[in-house]
Amino acid sequence: MVEPKQKSVPVLPWMRSPIDVSLFEECPLNLLPCLDSRLEEALQNMGISSLFPVQVAVWQETIGPGAFERDLCINSPTGSGKTLAYALPIVQMLSTRSVKCLRALVVLPTRDLALQVKEVFAAIAPAVGLSVGLAVGQSSIADEISELIRKPKLQAGISYDPEDLMPRLQSSVDILVATPGRLMDHINTTKGFTLEHLCYLVVDETDRLLREAYQSWLPTVLQLTCSNDESLFPCAKTCLPYTVGSLKTIRRYGVERGFKGKSYPRLVKMVLSATLTQDPSKLVQLDLHHPLLLTSGQRRYMLPEKLESYKLICESKLKPLYLVALLQNLGREKCIVFTSSVDSTHRLCTLLNFFGDLQIKIKEYSSLQRQSVRSKTLKAFREGKIQVLVSSDALTRGMDVEGVRNIINYDMPGIHKDIHSSGWSNCKSRPDWAMLHIAA
């Protein structure tokens, strides 16, 4: 007799009693407590009339009675609406700010995901007078700096000491969406760029960001934001070189263990993933404050209901031919072919394009291409002018492309949970679709 498989119990106690997001229901915007009417209108303009369950659950823990008291770990399937789940409460909280400073930082592992998230913020933040910036290396660093930092207006005829001007440089944005590399460039070299006033840190696609060090961006950000209360942290001043005039940001207060009931200012963190790690050694890096886990049901991996999954086993030398035959069969249905690397992407796409009989437009989507080329390809794919996109799963994981009908894993992702998330995310808006693994 086969023993029933034991359910693994998370090592971390706070992970053992999560909030089950699947118990929440969609909530129409007009019934959402405390929602700013300007944001309600902006959401309606986006075609959104109600919030998804994960968004309602996060709203409850942030704007609702939870009041951002705990750091949130949100483990919810791809396509469940995690972006708006954090964007909306942050924008609502910042809507009452009086001075423009960088208050919220969202970090994502790739430029394309960052662009996608920035679009969501950009659709709601201006409605309450907030500005959103992007630091991803899409444009030159000089252009990016001019977007992010505002120089003081100087009066003609007065000679200024450059040292005096430094503290007067100000952030042009309230919210910044960044990739780790460019974020580190700004931290290390951009004059006037400061995290001193940061109140909210969002780590999206957490697993991936924790898996790779990305120039130690996380310890750097945590160190720079550890506190600005000198009485509790005399060392903080050395970490925080710039101030905006006499403006001092007091972060949300929380009572931390070991502080004998004394409250101390802290940075609010929200970390998100479709496949959140349970590994304590990874999670400890985030330095979470009384974390609260919000998760969708008991299962870590959720498959869309109408997914059909197939496996095609063939000799490795025949893999390209099987793929060609398959694409021919799929006709003009939108399809993404995942490979394991940029080299493999390029080789495969070049090869497929030799098959002129296919009569379908096939393009590569690779990190070796310029962002402008990638954006053009993605636009054409979204519009249906390209039917097949060949890409490494690392690049497209989490991207939202409507109308994709088929996912082909030409190379299997190295980490098995990526098999789920890479494909799922691109088909999330499809009611029925198929995934095929070609294995040699």
Ligand X SMILES: Nc1ncnc2c1ncn2[C@@H]1O[C@H](COP(=O)(O)OP(=O)(O)OP(=O)(O)O)[C@@H](O)[C@H]1O
Site residues for ligand X per CB under 6 A: 48, 51-52, 55, 76, 78-84, 274, 398, 400, 425, 428
Separation CA 28–CA 8 (nearest Å):
36
Helix (H/G/I), strand (E/B), else coil: 170:
strand
Residue type, 321: L
Nearer Cβ to ligand X (55/138): 55
Neighbour-count burial of 268, counting CB atoms closer than 10 A to its CB (0-12 exposed, 13-18 middle, 19+ buried): buried
Separation CA 286–CA 305 (nearest Å):
33
CB of 113 to ligand X, least distance (A): 7
Nearer Cβ to ligand X (48/236): 48
Nearer Cβ to ligand X (89/398): 398
CB of 51 to ligand X, least distance (A): 5
CB of 191 to ligand X, least distance (A): 33
Nearer Cβ to ligand X (105/117): 117
Separation CA 113–CA 164 (nearest Å):
38
Question: Of 265, 114, 250, which is closest to residue 176 (Cα–Cα)?
Answer: 114
Nearer Cβ to ligand X (121/193): 121
Neighbour-count burial of 260, counting CB atoms closer than 10 A to its CB (0-12 exposed, 13-18 middle, 19+ buried): exposed
CB of 56 to ligand X, least distance (A): 9
CB of 440 to ligand X, least distance (A): 29
Q: Which residues of 204-221 are buried (b: 16+ CB within 10 A; e: fewer)?
A: bbbbbbbeeebeebbebb
CB of 369 to ligand X, least distance (A): 22
Helix (H/G/I), strand (E/B), else coil: 366:
coil
The two tokens of residue 133 are 């910036």
Residue type, 71: D
Helix axes 342-354, 319-330, angle to 10 degrees: 60
CB of 82 to ligand X, least distance (A): 4
Question: Of 282, 277, 307, which is closest to residue 293 (Cα–Cα)?
Answer: 277
Q: What is the full DSSP assignment across 278-330?
A: --HHHHGGG--SS-EEEESSS-SS---TTEEEEEEE--GGGHHHHHHHHHHHH
Question: Of 92, 338, 85, 53, which is closest to residue 204 (Cα–Cα)?
Answer: 85
The two tokens of residue 262 are 């004394």
CB of 17 to ligand X, least distance (A): 23
CB of 272 to ligand X, least distance (A): 7
CB of 71 to ligand X, least distance (A): 18
Spell out the long-range contacts of 344-352 with Cβ–Cβ below 8 A and sequence spacing 24 or more.
344/392, 344/410, 344/411, 345/390, 345/391, 345/392, 348/320, 348/323, 348/390, 348/410, 349/390, 351/320, 352/320, 352/323, 352/324, 352/327, 352/388, 352/390
Nearer Cβ to ligand X (262/306): 306
